[in-house]
Amino acid sequence: MVVFKLVIFLVVCYNICKIVLREEVACMAAKKYVIGNFKGGVGKSTCAQMFGFESAKFKELKTLIIDLDMQGNTSDVMNLTHMNFSKEEGGGEGELIEYTNTITDVLISNVDPHDAIYKIIDNLYILPADMSFELYDDWIKDRFPNSIDKFKYMEEKLSPLFNDFDVIYLDVPPSISIYSKSAMYIADWAIVVLQTQVKSMRNAMQYLEYMDFFTNEFDTNLKVAGVVPFMLESGDSVDKEMYQQAQEIYGEHLIKNVVLKNARLKRYDGSGITTEVTKKGKLKQWDKKCHELFINILDELEEHEHWYEG
């Protein structure tokens, strides 16, 4: 009888341990964000770059940016960013990274995804893309006739990375494509980037409408973290009017921290992200303003995520 009770006790303990372990693994998995709008040039890639950088540098989260845009702009900017930082900071100290493997190699050539990620600075990594990624569209269509199988394939190939990071940002092209749809399937959260232009407003709304259709059609848990107003002219009456319209349309989803037109952000696109300091060791004003703004946006997005709890 004692032996029987001991066996029952051990079985119960074993099952409890399995449940706890599963919960711990789930907690370890990265939060995954897709950053979208169906219009190009609205600042999606810039936001992916800045969010990734702030998450890693200032929030000290182990961060991965996955570039799913064959233009590879984010991959290029991250490489320049790597050059801007010292070896002690995890950077290249003036040296570029040679991207030997890219997302194409992971998905088509079966390269281990761990062999295709590159350290930019401490806590910040990228899985890069280049023009060869154009091949993926035809390649995946030839192998999987069903849409959901295409999405699951990308998720399966990238999933070994999910427990290695705290947060992952997916940068996608501005279109309804296998790239953007796969990212929607993989992501937990969507961040929509909005410029105060009629076409951008319309495309942002179309993105949200399509996202709603997609989550219902493919039974995903993708949720809206927020809509980020990007590159507004502070004194422009048209921008003010369009922003007011955005408030009416998007309501509480609209992020209050507005990204105004900013010469430093444009500079980052050509030089990589910087954290230049004064002789006293403090961040220079324009770098400081940029980084503080995007840190505040991340904080606001996190507040929005709490709305879905319970």
Q: 160 pLDDT exceeds 50?
A: yes
Q: What is the pLDDT of residue 246?
A: 81
Average pLDDT taken over every residue of the chain:
87
Q: Which two tokens stand for residue 4?
A: 């029987």
pLDDT band at 11 (very low <50, low <70, confident <90, very high): very low
User: If you ran DSSP here, which 8-state letter would residue 205 be given?
Assistant: H
Return the number of other C-beta atoms located less than 10 Å from residue 264's C-beta.
18
Q: Which two tokens stand for residue 43?
A: 């600042």
Q: 151 pLDDT exceeds 80?
A: yes
Q: What is the pLDDT of residue 134?
A: 96
Q: For the purposes of burial, counting CB atoms within 10 Å of the CB of 244, is it exposed (0-12), middle (13-18) or buried (19 or more)? A: exposed
Q: What is the pLDDT of residue 280?
A: 87
Q: What is the pLDDT of residue 9?
A: 47
Q: 27 pLDDT exceeds 50?
A: no
CA distances from 75 to 26, 46, 103 (A): 29, 11, 11
Closest C-alpha among 300, 258, 266 to residue 286? 266
When computed from its CA atoms, the radius of gyration of the chain, rounded to whole angstroms, is 21
- Among 43-47, 222-226, 246-250, name the one with the lowest average pLDDT: 246-250
Bridge pairing between strands 63-67 and 124-127: parallel
Q: What is the pLDDT of residue 36?
A: 87
Q: What is the pLDDT of residue 211?
A: 93
- Among 119-133, 179-193, 267-281, name the one with the lowest average pLDDT: 267-281
Average pLDDT over residues 15-26: 42
Q: What is the pLDDT of residue 293?
A: 94
d(C-alpha 275, C-alpha 110), whole Å: 37
Q: 16 pLDDT exceeds 80?
A: no
Pairwise pLDDT comparison (104 vs 285), residue with the higher score: 104
Residue 226, strand partner residues: 191
Q: For the purposes of burial, counting CB atoms within 10 Å of the CB of 169, is it exposed (0-12), middle (13-18) or buried (19 or more)? A: buried
The alpha carbon of 177 is separated from its chain's Cα centroid by a whole number of angstroms, namely 17
Q: What is the pLDDT of residue 231?
A: 67
Q: Which two tokens stand for residue 104?
A: 């194409």
- Among 73-77, 119-123, 142-146, 254-258, name the one with the lowest average pLDDT: 254-258
pLDDT band at 5 (very low <50, low <70, confident <90, very high): very low
- Among 17-21, 168-172, 181-185, 234-238, name the one with the lowest average pLDDT: 17-21
Q: What does the H/E/C string look like for 15-54?
A: HHHHHHHHHHHHHHCCEEEEEECCCCCCCHHHHHHHHHHH
Residue pair 207/194 in contact (Cβ under 8 Å)? The answer is no
Q: Give me the CATH topology for the region 29-308.
A: Rossmann fold (3.40.50)
Report the predicted TM-score, pTM, of the whole model to 2 decimal places.
0.88
Give the residue extent of every domain in the chain: 29-308
Average pLDDT over residues 50-76: 97
Residue 125, strand partner residues: 64, 119
Q: Is the dihedral of CA 244, 216, 66, 123 positive or negative?
A: positive
Portion of the chain with pLDDT greater than 90, in percent: 65
User: If you ran DSSP here, which 8-state letter would residue 283 be given?
Assistant: B
Q: What is the pLDDT of residue 21?
A: 37
Pairwise pLDDT comparison (108 vs 15), residue with the higher score: 108
Bridge pairing between strands 124-127 and 118-121: antiparallel
- Among 8-12, 295-299, 305-309, name the one with the lowest average pLDDT: 8-12
Q: What is the pLDDT of residue 24?
A: 41
Residue pair 259/293 in contact (Cβ under 8 Å)? The answer is yes
Return the number of other C-beta atoms located less than 10 Å from residue 7's C-beta.
10
Residue pair 290/254 in contact (Cβ under 8 Å)? The answer is no
User: If you ran DSSP here, which 8-state letter would residue 146 be given?
Assistant: S
Q: Which two tokens stand for residue 34?
A: 């897709």
d(C-alpha 121, C-alpha 283), whole Å: 17
Average pLDDT over residues 178-193: 96
Q: Which two tokens stand for residue 195?
A: 């410029």
User: In 225-237, which positions are buried (b, 16+ CB within 10 angstroms) versus exposed (e)?
Assistant: bbbbbbbbeeeee
Pairwise pLDDT comparison (179 vs 261), residue with the higher score: 179
pLDDT tens column, 189-228: 999 998 766 676 777 888 899 999 999 999 999 999 999 9
d(C-alpha 83, C-alpha 272), whole Å: 8
